[in-house]
A and B are shown apart, each in its own frame.
Chain A
Amino acid sequence: MHATRTTLVVATLLSAIVFLGMTVDTLRRMPARTHSNQLSERVIEGKWLWQRYDCNDCHTILGIGGYYAPDVTKSYSIRGEAWLRQFLKEPAKMYPAGRQMPNFHFTDAQIDSLVAYLQWVSEIDTNNWPPPPQGMARQEPEGHRVFLAQHCNTCHAIEGSGGTLAPDLTHIGSRQTKDWILDQINNPRGHKADSIMPSFAQLPGEEKQELAEYLASLK
């Protein structure tokens, strides 16, 4: 009777001591791994907004949370700042089909904070999580990556994969030139006054070039 009780106490104490020791070491190393020197007031404000609006019960972050919406750990590096800003302003416009995020009517200052927070999160050393995909998506042309990252496939389909809200782009290259496509990306209403497509003028020039080149190649 006393022997098992002693074993219980010793086992608990031992594991608690080891765990606390590892905690001390972990907390010592975490500032470098999470570059905590870059935790500006804006980033912290962004974290508070993330919590106040209960974002974590739809989205996962570092893989933890609700499984209803995409993981945001790498959103900043995958989608880019321009897309994130426009999405947070008007989610339905950037993603009009299917499962949607409510419009929280964030102010510009709040969007600044959320984007700064997501940028900080994307730079945490996560021991290479999530793992880079091993499938075909990696071998696609760079423009296709931009096409997916900007969620163009929500409205436009290519070869049967994608939305039906906007014209099918499977053979867009045989109908339009690269320059015309570039104009459309920058200013959709220049070609059609009542177009519902948002402008992607804010994308980096290089990405717009790659996207237009890729679409023009779809003959």
Chain B
Amino acid sequence: MKHASQKIAREYFLAALPLFFLQVVFGLLASVKYVWGYDPLLSLMPFNIARTIHLNLLVFWLLLALMGATYYMVADELDTDIYSVRLARVQLWLLLVSGVAAIVGYIFHWSFGMPFLEQPTAIKVVIVAAALIFLYNIAMTMFTNHHILTRTTATLMGGMVMLSVMFLFGIPFMPNLSTQYYFWWWVIHLWVEGAWELIAASLVAWSLIKLTGVSRKTVEGWVFAEVALVLLTGIIGTGHHYYWIGTPHYWLVWGAVFSAAEPIPIVMMLVDAVRDLLKARTLPIVNTLGLAWLGAGAFVHFMGAGVWGFGQTLPQINRWTHGTQITASHGHFAFWGAYGMLAIALMYAILPEISGRKPNGKQGLSFAAFMSLNFSMIFMVMALLIAGIVQVYLQRVMGLDFLEVQNHLRVWFEVRLVAGGIFFLGTALLLWDLFRLATPLAAAERVAEPEAVPAA
């Protein structure tokens, strides 16, 4: 850590982690409902509310983690203090309070009712205010002393601006459902396959430089090319969501061609990460866990977003699979690989620098968390994939009724529930490990662990 103001990242992470834990709790609740015949919580907490909270917590904890990491990374890259720690703290509290208010509101049917964007308009306005504070604070940090932006910071800024602008299209109520969904995808698709990819590409590049010791020139060489391809394929690739929602037929062609190319930049990111990790073998590794999450994340990102996404992006296939458990499988795999694992990697990379602890202190615990989370996620997405394939066959091809088919899928929902249970335990281990890593070393412990004291 170079500057005291960077410590704000720790507060963002400590806020994000309990939200991640709650996200998993509500996910478990929703998956129990798939196994139960009759839902005893039907009037108290029906499936839609559990799912809404699951989705909202996902967005909130990831945003908080990525924003915290952004503050840390920009100050680190430009070797400067953050413009205003107080603004950063105001922003954090605005987001936390609005998030909690939204979640409590859902229980009382206070909802805008568009998936992921269920926050009532008043809360969306507060979120926009928090985003503006964030952009202002980051821009002032970047430009106050006329720093020359690195490629990674420039990409990050681009992603954050895109993130904020796109969110605006999710705010208005539109009488026409097709138009509403047309612009809903400007938020959902252009976030996860646009803005968030830029943010991820930049944070991954920064962590690779930091954790592997491979030269900036090597790592940054590809960043702009990757980003150019992400935007070139991703923007018009939005068309793969415009096949069946009342939009013209030509989207079947445009959406197919451009979205089929979307895995190319993801493959480049994977190759990039593997190349840097191989180079780093000869260098002294200081943060094994950060690298493990980063490398595994690049692979799961490729599988979940690239392979699973490509698998149903062509309209000939999507016509049958659209709106089934196959989409649920893809959603879990891609979000975990592209963003969940990245957020965790960033916490493993940054927290030891703030707390002054050794990054590799309790390897047994850290690896138990790593293994249980990743393997249970793979079991979960496999169970959902098989459920989805059976569903497509029975429901779409054979024409059986939806609920009758759901009964046939129960065994796969049971497998998913067990996997979810293991994922829950993994989350508990991860939180324990990261909270330990976030606790600053007391003076007495510093004597016991002298090598952990930062050189500066």
Per-residue 0/1 for A50-74: is the Cβ within 8 Å of any B Cβ (1 yes, 0 no)?
Answer: 1111111110111111111111000
Determine whether A160 belongs to the interface, using a CB cutoff of 8 Å to chain B.
Answer: no
Which residues B214-254 have CB closer than 8 A to chain A?
Answer: 224-225, 227-229, 231-232, 235-236, 238-239, 242-252, 254
Shortest distance between the CB of B240 and any CB in chain A (Å): 12
In the complex, chain A residues whose CB is within 8 Å of the CB of B118 = 54, 57
Shortest distance between the CB of A72 and any CB in chain B (Å): 10
CA distance A30 to B177 in the complex (A): 11
Which residues A1-55 have CB closer than 8 A to chain B?
Answer: 4-5, 7-8, 11-12, 14-16, 18-19, 22-23, 25-27, 29-30, 33-34, 36, 39, 43-44, 47-48, 50-55
Binds A, one of B48-56, B203-211, B275-283: B48-56
Shortest distance between the CB of A203 and any CB in chain B (Å): 18
CA distance A97 to B38 in the complex (A): 8
Determine whether A202 belongs to the interface, using a CB cutoff of 8 Å to chain B.
Answer: no
B37, B43, B224, B324 interface centre (most CB from chain A within 10 Å): B224
Shortest distance between the CB of B15 and any CB in chain A (Å): 25
Shortest distance between the CB of A199 and any CB in chain B (Å): 22
Which residues B398-428 have CB closer than 8 A to chain A?
Answer: 398-404, 406-407
Nearest to A121 among chain B residues (CB) is: B177
Binds B, one of A123-131, A177-185, A186-194, A205-213: A123-131
User: Contacts A54-B118, A63-B323, A129-B322; is A100 near B42 (CB within 8 Å)?
Assistant: yes
Binds A, one of B3-11, B104-112, B352-360, B442-450: B104-112
User: Is the CB–CB distance between B319 and A62 below 8 Å?
Assistant: no
In the complex, chain A residues whose CB is within 8 Å of the CB of B404 = 153, 161
In the complex, chain B residues whose CB is within 8 Å of the CB of A19 = 235-236, 238
Per-residue 0/1 for B367-398: is the Cβ within 8 Å of any A Cβ (1 yes, 0 no)?
Answer: 00000000000000000000000000001111
User: Is the CB–CB distance between A98 and B113 below 8 Å?
Assistant: no
Binds B, one of A81-89, A107-115, A132-140: A132-140
User: Is the CB–CB distance between A102 and B181 below 8 Å?
Assistant: no
User: Contacts A12-B232, A54-B109; is A34 near B246 (CB within 8 Å)?
Assistant: yes
User: Contacts A124-B178, A126-B244; is A4 near B252 (CB within 8 Å)?
Assistant: no
User: Is the CB–CB distance between B177 and A131 below 8 Å?
Assistant: no
A5, A8, A153 interface centre (most CB from chain B within 10 Å): A8
CA distance A71 to B244 in the complex (A): 13
Determine whether B179 belongs to the interface, using a CB cutoff of 8 Å to chain A.
Answer: yes
In the complex, chain B residues whose CB is within 8 Å of the CB of A30 = 176, 178-179, 182, 246-248
User: Is the CB–CB distance between B179 and A27 below 8 Å?
Assistant: yes
Shortest distance between the CB of A155 and any CB in chain B (Å): 13
User: Is the CB–CB distance between B46 and A48 below 8 Å?
Assistant: no
Determine whether B327 belongs to the interface, using a CB cutoff of 8 Å to chain A.
Answer: yes
In the complex, chain A residues whose CB is within 8 Å of the CB of B400 = 135, 137
Nearest to A95 among chain B residues (CB) is: B403
User: Contacts A51-B112, A58-B48, A98-B38; is A71 near B243 (CB within 8 Å)?
Assistant: no
From A33, A97, A121, contact of B247 by CB (8 A): A33
Per-residue 0/1 for B178-201: is the Cβ within 8 Å of any A Cβ (1 yes, 0 no)?
Answer: 110110000000000000000000
In the complex, chain B residues whose CB is within 8 Å of the CB of A175 = none
Determine whether B320 belongs to the interface, using a CB cutoff of 8 Å to chain A.
Answer: yes
Determine whether A165 belongs to the interface, using a CB cutoff of 8 Å to chain B.
Answer: no
User: Is the CB–CB distance between B113 and A148 below 8 Å?
Assistant: no
User: Is the CB–CB distance between A18 and B403 below 8 Å?
Assistant: no
User: Is the CB–CB distance between B111 and A51 below 8 Å?
Assistant: yes
Determine whether B325 belongs to the interface, using a CB cutoff of 8 Å to chain A.
Answer: yes
In the complex, chain B residues whose CB is within 8 Å of the CB of A161 = 404
In the complex, chain A residues whose CB is within 8 Å of the CB of B224 = 4-5, 7-8
User: Contacts A135-B399, A137-B399; is A25 near B406 (CB within 8 Å)?
Assistant: no
In the complex, chain B residues whose CB is within 8 Å of the CB of A66 = 47-48, 51, 115
Determine whether B140 belongs to the interface, using a CB cutoff of 8 Å to chain A.
Answer: no
Shortest distance between the CB of A162 and any CB in chain B (Å): 9
Shortest distance between the CB of A91 and any CB in chain B (Å): 10
Nearest to B175 among chain A residues (CB) is: A44
User: Is the CB–CB distance between B246 and A126 below 8 Å?
Assistant: yes
Shortest distance between the CB of A1 and any CB in chain B (Å): 9
In the complex, chain B residues whose CB is within 8 Å of the CB of A121 = 177
In the complex, chain A residues whose CB is within 8 Å of the CB of B398 = 133-137
Shortest distance between the CB of B409 and any CB in chain A (Å): 10
User: Is the CB–CB distance between A50 and B113 below 8 Å?
Assistant: yes
Per-residue 0/1 for B13-37: is the Cβ within 8 Å of any A Cβ (1 yes, 0 no)?
Answer: 0000000000000000010011001
From B43, B173, B403, contact of A99 by CB (8 A): B403
From A27, A34, A58, A125, contact of B47 by CB (8 A): A58
In the complex, chain A residues whose CB is within 8 Å of the CB of B59 = none
Nearest to A68 among chain B residues (CB) is: B47
From A4, A39, A67, A95, contact of B327 by CB (8 A): A67
In the complex, chain B residues whose CB is within 8 Å of the CB of A129 = 243-244, 319, 322
User: Is the CB–CB distance between B246 and A62 below 8 Å?
Assistant: yes
User: Is the CB–CB distance between A62 and B244 below 8 Å?
Assistant: yes
CA distance A53 to B49 in the complex (A): 10
In the complex, chain B residues whose CB is within 8 Å of the CB of A54 = 48-49, 52, 106, 109, 111, 113, 118
CA distance A129 to B111 in the complex (A): 28
Which residues B30-76 have CB closer than 8 A to chain A?
Answer: 30, 33-34, 37-39, 42-43, 46-49, 51-52, 55
CA distance A132 to B251 in the complex (A): 21
CA distance A62 to B114 in the complex (A): 13
Determine whether B271 belongs to the interface, using a CB cutoff of 8 Å to chain A.
Answer: no
User: Is the CB–CB distance between B115 and A57 below 8 Å?
Assistant: yes
Shortest distance between the CB of A24 and any CB in chain B (Å): 12
User: Is the CB–CB distance between B245 and A133 below 8 Å?
Assistant: no
Interface contacts beyond A33-B248, A67-B324: sample of 7 additional A-B pairs, CB < 8 Å, sorted by A: A4-B224, A11-B228, A30-B179, A30-B182, A67-B325, A99-B33, A99-B37
> Which 10 pairs from chain A and chain B are nearest by CB?
A133-B399, A51-B113, A63-B323, A135-B398, A137-B399, A129-B244, A57-B48, A70-B402, A8-B228, A63-B322
**What are 9 A-to-B residue pairs whose CB atoms are below 8 Å?**
A14-B232, A30-B246, A63-B244, A65-B323, A66-B47, A67-B324, A100-B39, A135-B400, A138-B399
